[in-house]
């Protein structure tokens, strides 16, 4: 979990450093040119910085999706294993376990759908989605752990 946060923080720092560097470079270059060229160069720098920011966001989205898809697959495997264990349970507990597990399985499917449907429209959308999705995935993971502990006792 901390490594994902560190990667996210590192990505934000990298994007910020690139944006500041481009701004400084643009400022230095344009200060040495006639004012007509300065405006055009500044526009080009802004366009280039926006393209780099979009690419950085896209890279971050793709990496996050890849990691999240792996977690979802792990949860799918855990759920399948739990289904096998439940099949061997005593009849009195079996129905409740099956119901609880079906709810967790549905949540996992919803997370998979949310991830597949997400389209990053900008930095704020992406940051908000990533925060909420990660929180929901952590909750689902904890619920699976709790279910496993309850099922083992």
Say what the pLDDT of residue 18 is. Answer: 61
- Which tokens hold the place of 128? 């908000």
**What pLDDT score does 153 carry?**
59
Tell me how far apart the alpha carbons of residues 26 and 20 are, in angstroms, rounded to a whole number. 10
**How confident is the model over 52-71, as a mean pLDDT?**
91
Residue 16, pLDDT score: 66
Average pLDDT for 52-62: 87
* Exposed / middle / buried, residue 20 (Cβ in 10 Å: 0-12, 13-18, 19+): exposed
Q: pLDDT (tens digit, 9 = 90+) per residue, 121-148?
A: 777 888 899 999 999 999 999 999 998 8
Q: Average per-residue pLDDT in the chain?
A: 82
Give me 123's structure tokens. Answer: 């930095």
The pLDDT tens digits of the residues spanning 14-43 come to 766 666 666 676 666 655 555 667 788 888
Report domain extents, the chain. 2-152
pLDDT per residue as tens digits for the range 90-130: 777 788 889 999 999 999 999 999 999 988 777 788 889 99
Whether the pLDDT of residue 6 is over 70: the answer is no
């Amino acid at each position: 979990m901390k490594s994902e946060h560190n990667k996210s923080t590192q990505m934000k720092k990298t994007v910020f450093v690139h944006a500041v560097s481009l701004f400084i470079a643009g400022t230095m270059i344009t200060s040495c040119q006639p004012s007509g060229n300065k405006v055009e160069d500044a526009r080009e720098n802004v366009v280039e910085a926006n393209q780099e920011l979009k690419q950085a966001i896209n890279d971050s989205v793709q990496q996050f999706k890849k990691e999240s898809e792996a977690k979802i697959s792990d949860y799918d495997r855990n759920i399948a294993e739990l289904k096998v264990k439940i099949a061997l349970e005593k009849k009195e507990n079996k129905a409740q376990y099956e119901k609880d597990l079906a709810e967790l399985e549905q949540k996992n499917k919803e997370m998979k759908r949310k991830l597949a449907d997400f389209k990053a429209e900008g930095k704020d959308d992406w940051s908000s989605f990533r925060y909420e999705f990660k929180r929901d995935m952590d909750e689902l993971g904890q619920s699976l752990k709790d279910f496993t502990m309850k099922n083992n006792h």
